[in-house]
Chains A and B, each alone.
Chain A
Amino acid sequence: MRMFVGSNLERRLAAGDFAVTAEVGPPRGPDPADVKKKAGILRGVADAYNVTDNQTAVVRMSSIAASKILLQEGLEPVMQIVCRDRNRIAIQSDLLGAWALGIRNVLCLSGDHQSAGAGGKLKGHPGAKNVYDIDSIQLISVVKGLRDGAVQEGGDSISPAAPFFIGAAWTPLGPPEKFRTIRLAKKINAGANFIQTQAVYDIKRFAEAVRRAEDMGLTDRAAILPGIIVPRSAGMLKYMNANVPGIEVPEEMIRRMKNAADPKIEGIEITLELIDAVKNLSGIKGVHLQAIEAEELLPDIIRSAGLLPRPRIY
């Protein structure tokens, strides 16, 4: 695989090591200490850290600023970019700025619709005008243009090029399922180098989807990192199964959490089993871990999974 930017994440994957990424959600306020605190908890446990871009359509510190803070703290960011809030002019401008600040990994997403408002938990800005000038796949090709062609979407050249390691999302079990592999292929054809997936709980169905991708030769062309959200309770699993598109939780797993003496410990146990299961899947190159509002759980989980210390990157 050709080396594009030599970020930690890219080199880890190039070396054939099992990669670990985690998520750092920026705060709803302006205090850099909030980002630094999470950085302190997660330093050294992952190869790179996703910095979300106003996820669930709630205003948070910009992903570009929070990414820069992570860099200062010695953590490598994966800067997420959604298509909801910025047109191709603003996105490219921010990409150039991000590169100037030392940000090398980006994840290209459509973004939650502005009506989301944290799933109704916060007010958000449902009256906002959205942009969606380009979609996530077009965004991938825009980033690729800045990197490989040193050219902006409109055709003007830039100097020097702005090389990024390009990520994209995949929801393998979302309907229409027959199209999800085709969509993955479109993302990889457009320039995606790594893929982080929607949270996986149903290993059997996920494995089937990965096999279809493998049959199309996609797993050789991009590194697939399944998403795993640490379950905290049966209610949370039930909620995600019913309400989060693309997340399928087997009934048995919900029952298991329900019957557990300590759901928190059981959730960690399940997470470890999931990591183990995806590790043994052909075509899987790492894992993307999230512990929503419980980042402090991740170091122990990653250690227990035998993924710590992270191997040195040469």
Chain B
Amino acid sequence: MSDGNQQPGQEPEVVLLYCQHGLCHEAKGSAWYQECAGLSIRAIMMPCSSKIEVSYILKLLESGADAVEVVACPEKSCKYLVGSLRAERRIEYVRGLLEKIGYAPERVGISRKLSQSPVQLMDLARARADAVRSFGINPMKKGE
């Protein structure tokens, strides 16, 4: 199934939204994501994954992101108790909406991880890229 135009060789653009606790202590403060240059990954840190709004995820997709990966804390580790649970519910909701308009729900995903190293975070983003590669580029990119 494809919801877009398959263009071989083009790397999916992934936006990685991660909870501040999703990044290991050592990497904090460093501009670790600069290492991602060339990987089509944009990483954005949030104070808590519950800060993500449905509208925000959709705006990322609307503006051309091929996929969005959210990294939230495991259920019992959320500093705000239900923050990461809320994030998960919202992601489920977005996936449902995408399905209804003919977009692959796989374009949005969530992982529940704590204290990831930059490499591990990259891997999560890559896994999301792999999950959407077969669906082609985001149709919103067409005709731009």
Q: Report A-B touching, CB under 8 Å.
A: no
Which A residues have a C-beta under 8 Å from some C-beta of B?
Answer: none
